[in-house]
Amino acid sequence: MNLADKITLCEVGPRDGLQNEARLFSAEEKVELINQMMEAGFKVIEVGSFVSPKAVPQMANTDEVFRALKPPADVELRALIANARGVDRAVECGCRKVKLNVSASKAHNLANLNRTPEESVAGFKECVDKAAANGIAVSGSISMAFGSPWDREIPIQDVKDIVNAYLNVGVTEISLSDASGMAYPSQVYNMCTEMMREFPQVEWWLHFHNTRGLGVANIVAGMEAGVRNFDTSFAGVGGCPFVPGAAGNVSTEDVVHMCDEMGVKTGIDLDKAMEISRRVAELVGHPTDSYLLRAGKSKDLIRELPKGQLKNQVKAK
């Protein structure tokens, strides 16, 4: 297997996880969780989004959270934005990295914005220029790159056209997102292999939802293709409000556990990550999509049996 020695995980739970919860988390609760994440070894964390509080009330306190955080120099805290006003808010609260997003679905984008995805990205130039003038880094995301409820599978050329549009406005860090939960491993491998070959200047990220149980398999397929950056969410919380039956994001602890078992370094303390996820599950007050919170680590099953017990178990069978 073409496994890396090390990968980078971005914890997106504070944004993509909590924005789908009915419970509104206070700024103090978010700051506590994010500080614990940094202590657990996360180097990239998606803190929230600078969008309308009326549209997404769960993210209304993102500015307050950024002001309260004091990250080490080697930790990147980022936020999602929708327009130039998002850059202004980032400047005002000290956020140093913002992310733009567009849907790969032409039908979805035209219905919502009356623009093609490429036209939407071209309109991001104002955001990129304003961010650069204020020393803020910008990344881009392509949601539903692997399929959508409106188009089913997205032609890879459509995704390439969006990548070129991002490059034209100066964005060279791009995430391929499976918000619809429709991706499958061979598709992920083939698309990522082709994208990395055609756009070697791009720093690639992958973002999977576990809607149909393929999230972790898709991460392995991405690793096989050479991608080394992935988004995950504590306790597997999250989902997509536009997709029927959508489950949460791939669980952070499930991915860290898999990597630990395979010898792939993440720099994240699994026990600490699980403590954070247990706290999140307690706060949201409902079961979450985390296998590890249900079953525990594989290594926890290995224990010394009392003398003679194994022999007795064999006889019983």
pLDDT tens per residue, range 254-307: 999 999 999 999 999 999 999 999 999 999 999 898 999 999 999 998 766 666
Coil, helix or strand at residue 241: coil
Q: Work out the pLDDT band at 313, boundaries 50, 70, 90.
A: low
Structure tokens at 28: 């103090």
Residue 288 backbone phi and psi in degrees, to 5: -120, 170
In a domain, 164, yes or no: yes
In a domain, 181, yes or no: yes
Beta bridge partners of 103: 143
Q: Yes or no: say if 248 and 218 are a contact pair by the CB < 8 Å rule.
A: no
Residue 3 has pLDDT above 90, yes or no: no
In a domain, 295, yes or no: yes
Mean pLDDT, the chain, whole residue set: 93
Helix (H) or strand (E) holding 99: strand 97-103
| 30-56 average pLDDT score | 97
| 73-86 average pLDDT score | 97
Q: Yes or no: say if 24 and 64 are a contact pair by the CB < 8 Å rule.
A: no
Higher-confidence residue of 242 and 250: namely 250
Q: Yes or no: say if 264 and 199 are a contact pair by the CB < 8 Å rule.
A: no
The amino acid sitting at 192 is C
Residue 247 has pLDDT above 80, yes or no: no
In a domain, 1, yes or no: no
In a domain, 61, yes or no: yes
In a domain, 2, yes or no: no
- Helices 27-40 and 270-284, packing angle to 10 deg: 160
Q: Structurally, how many domains does the chain consist of?
A: 1
In a domain, 285, yes or no: yes
Please give the C-alpha separations between residue 176 and each of 65, 77, 173, in angstroms, as whole numbers.
27, 19, 10
| pLDDT, tens digit (0-9, with 9 covering 90-100), for 119-136 | 999 999 999 999 999 999
Residue 240 annotated in active site: yes
| pLDDT, tens digit (0-9, with 9 covering 90-100), for 129-159 | 999 999 999 999 999 999 988 888 899 999 9
Catalytic residue, candidates 95, 127, 240, 259: 240
Residue 225 has pLDDT above 90, yes or no: yes
What's the CATH number where 163 sits? 3.20.20.70
Residue ranges making up the domain that contains 196: 8-316
In a domain, 3, yes or no: no
